[in-house]
Amino acid sequence: MEYLNEEQVRKRLTFEALIPAMERALRDLSVGRIQQPVRTVLRVPDHDGIFALMPAVDGEVMGAKFVTIYEKNSGGLPTHQATILLFSAQTGEPLAAMDGRLITEMRTAAVSAVATKLFASPGSRVLAILGSGAQARSHAQALRTVRDFAEVRVWSRTPEHALAFGTEHDAMVAGSAEAAVRGADVVVSASNVREPLVRGEWLGERTLVCAIGAIGPERRELDDAAMRGAVVVESREAAMQESGDVIGSGERIYAEAGEVLAGLRPAPEGRVVFKSLGVAAEDLAAAGLVWRMQGADN
């Protein structure tokens, strides 16, 4: 069985190919063509870590992502690490294994780009990003492929990180989360938080919020006022078990993104909250894309 490391994955994965792959995966998940359970999560209390399993079956390919989250990692060691295994759904034969860290990073941003295509106003000009880590960087790249932003703002709890991000991505550094968000057409919440960071009073009537920073039933990144829009998710089942923003606010889920892509629900008007948790269907689609490109190269 072939193993692809992160650099091999990086050479074969582009947002231009990944965004349409995520559209297909979200649509197929919502219409029942992809099978997946909600992820299984094991706590590692002795080391303050999380170990999760995310399997899915999609046509002739099936796979599973094994992901670890160790938020206290330092010294350049990523907080999120993963391996993805691919199998033939027809025979059960192992096909490939690959590093999943970059896939997790890029597919998350690609899914937010899908949401931006669907729900952001066509004339959106201002993008605000809260956070300055790997997800913030990928989102700056991915969202610029679907909207022509005239201004990108960044805010981070670590000012020197925000300055470095601003230089790297031609972004204006905001002095506060509020300053970054007010007047923005699209807001990406990509900061690892446990309590609400985005306030509804800062948001416009047609703002799109892509909320990716808080995963878990006990975590929030949006206050109740920020959640008062059309709430769109990847999977209702996952959101009702894993999203503290959805559970805690009590807001009704308007649709899965795949339902809008499939024409089962119209795109909502006004403010949209896209609460993204990451699902196995996305990882499988991204890994399958890498595997097929690897086969073409060979």
Q: What does the pLDDT look like over 179-195, one tens digit per residue? A: 999 999 999 999 989 99
Do 58 and 194 belong to one domain? no
**Sequential DSSP letters for the chain:** -EEE-HHHHHHH--HHHHHHHHHHHHHHHHTTSEE-PPPEEEEEGGGTEEEEEEEEEETTEEEEEEEEE-TT--TT--SEEEEEEEEETTT--EEEEEE-HHHHHHHHHHHHHHHHHHHS-TT--EEEEE--SHHHHHHHHHHHTTS--SEEEEE-SSHHHHHHHHHHHT-EEPSSHHHHHTT-SEEEE-S--SS--B-GGG--TT-EEEE-S--BTT--SB-TTTT-SEEEES-HHHHHHHBHHHHHH-PPEEEEHHHHHTTSSPPPPS-EEEE----HHHHHHHHHHHHHHHHHH-
What would the pLDDT profile of 129-156 be if each residue is shown by its tens digit?
999 999 999 999 999 999 999 999 999 9
CATH of the domain at 172: 3.40.50.720
Do 218 and 238 belong to one domain? yes
**Residue ranges in the chain whose pLDDT is less than 70:** 298
Do 135 and 210 belong to one domain? yes
Do 25 and 128 belong to one domain? no
CA distance 113 to 22: 9
Number of separate domains in the chain:
2
Do 185 and 243 belong to one domain? yes
CATH of the domain at 76: 3.30.1780.10
- Residue 117 is predicted with a pLDDT of 97
Do 293 and 195 belong to one domain? no
- Residue 297 is predicted with a pLDDT of 72
Range of the domain at 23: 2-103+281-297
Do 217 and 236 belong to one domain? yes
What would the pLDDT profile of 20-43 be if each residue is shown by its tens digit?
999 999 999 999 999 999 999 999
Q: Which of 84, 82, 86, 85 is nearest to 101 (CA)?
A: 82
Do 75 and 16 belong to one domain? yes
Do 46 and 151 belong to one domain? no
Do 175 and 74 belong to one domain? no
Do 14 and 90 belong to one domain? yes
Do 93 and 169 belong to one domain? no
- Residue 210 is predicted with a pLDDT of 98
- Residue 298 is predicted with a pLDDT of 64
